[in-house]
């Protein structure tokens, strides 16, 4: 089983591919070089890569289109755009497409190594952020579900209370019918007693 990190370099200049191969092979990477975006797409159908470097100006498919296609197919594969024709517009477009870096030529061994290490570290950060976002989303969904259950329980309680009142209302009315005459009788008796007492006092 091959445990080396796989690097794909896409550049119509063979010298660039050999530079990456020479620098990164000594660092334990396995480097594959191709000369066009079309060839890169075919190569990616056959193998998985840990990081991809692509020139921006090539015959046929340019580096930005290559970046877009790779990110659509393998969102977590870091893609670094390398160019001798760097502009702010191209750099912004590369960032929007999901490129992990934008490096201008000429490339030194130190730049190749540092950019590779930086690109390899970005997917882990993105993955951790995504997992954290997923955890927050899961907690939010659980809270919504709990609130929904509480609201449903409250609704059931209200319905049960209303049903209970509906069935109890005849008995409550009957109770008023029975109790009110009794209360009225005692109230009338009290008034009669008080009137009798006053009459006795005036004699």
Report helix angle 109-202 to 14-25, nearest 10.
70
- Report whether pLDDT(180) > 50: no
Flag whether 170 is in a domain.
no
CATH number of the domain bearing residue 89: 3.40.50.2300
The pLDDT tens digits of the residues spanning 117-138 come to 998 886 544 433 334 434 444 4
Q: Tell me, what's the pLDDT at 4? A: 85
Query: What is the chain's mean pLDDT, rounded?
Result: 75
Which residue do the tokens 């870091």 mark? Answer: 78
Binned at pLDDT 50, 70 and 90, residue 174 comes out as: very low
Q: Tell me, what's the pLDDT at 84? A: 81
Flag whether 184 is in a domain.
no
Q: Tell me, what's the pLDDT at 64? A: 94
Domain extent for 104: 5-122
Flag whether 74 is in a domain.
yes
Output the six-digit token pair for 143.
């809270």
Residue of 20, 15, 43 whose CA lies nearest to 31:
20
Q: Taking residues 33-57, report their average pLDDT.
A: 94
Q: Taking residues 75-90, report their average pLDDT.
A: 87
Flag whether 164 is in a domain.
no
Flag whether 137 is in a domain.
no
Q: Tell me, what's the pLDDT at 183? A: 41
Domains held by the chain: number: 1
Flag whether 57 is in a domain.
yes
Flag whether 96 is in a domain.
yes
Flag whether 87 is in a domain.
yes
What is the number of alpha carbons within 13 Å of residue 79 lying toward its C-beta? 30
Best-predicted range by mean pLDDT among 14-18, 141-145, 153-157?
14-18
Residue of 41, 51, 47 whose CA lies nearest to 79:
51
Binned at pLDDT 50, 70 and 90, residue 53 comes out as: very high
Higher-confidence residue of 74 and 178: namely 74
Which residue do the tokens 């109770």 mark? Answer: 175
DSSP string, 121-179: HHHHHHHHHHHHHHHHHHHHHHHHHHHHHHHHHHHHHHHHHHHHHHHHHHHHHHHHHHH
Laid out side by side, the sheet with 5-10 consists of 29-34, 5-10, 51-55, 79-83, 101-104
- Report whether pLDDT(71) > 70: yes
Q: Tell me, what's the pLDDT at 3? A: 77
Binned at pLDDT 50, 70 and 90, residue 202 comes out as: low
Q: Taking residues 142-158, report their average pLDDT.
A: 53
Task: Say if residue 82 is exposed, middle or buried (CB neighbours under 10 Å; 0-12, 13-18, 19+).
Answer: buried
Output the six-digit token pair for 125.
């950060």
């Amino acid at each position: 089983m091959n445990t080396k990190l796989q690097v794909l370099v896409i550049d119509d200049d063979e010298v660039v591919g050999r530079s990456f191969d020479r620098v990164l092979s000594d660092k334990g990477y396995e480097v594959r070089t191709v000369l066009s975006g079309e060839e890169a797409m075919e190569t990616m159908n056959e193998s998985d890569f840990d990081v991809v470097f692509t020139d921006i100006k090539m015959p046929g498919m340019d580096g930005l289109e290559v970046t877009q296609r790779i990110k659509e197919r393998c969102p977590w594969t870091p893609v670094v755009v390398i160019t001798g024709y760097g502009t702010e517009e191209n750099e912004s477009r590369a960032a929007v497409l999901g490129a992990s870096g934008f490096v201008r030529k000429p490339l030194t061994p130190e730049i190749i190594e540092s950019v590779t290490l930086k690109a390899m570290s970005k997917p882990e950060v993105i993955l951790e952020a995504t997992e954290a976002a997923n955890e927050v989303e899961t907690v939010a969904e659980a809270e919504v579900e709990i609130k929904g259950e509480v609201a449903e329980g409250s609704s059931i309680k209200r319905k049960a209370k209303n049903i209970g009142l509906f069935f109890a209302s005849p008995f409550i009315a009957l109770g008023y019918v029975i109790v009110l005459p009794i209360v009225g009788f005692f109230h009338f008796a009290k008034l009669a007693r008080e009137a009798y007492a006053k009459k006795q006092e005036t004699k």
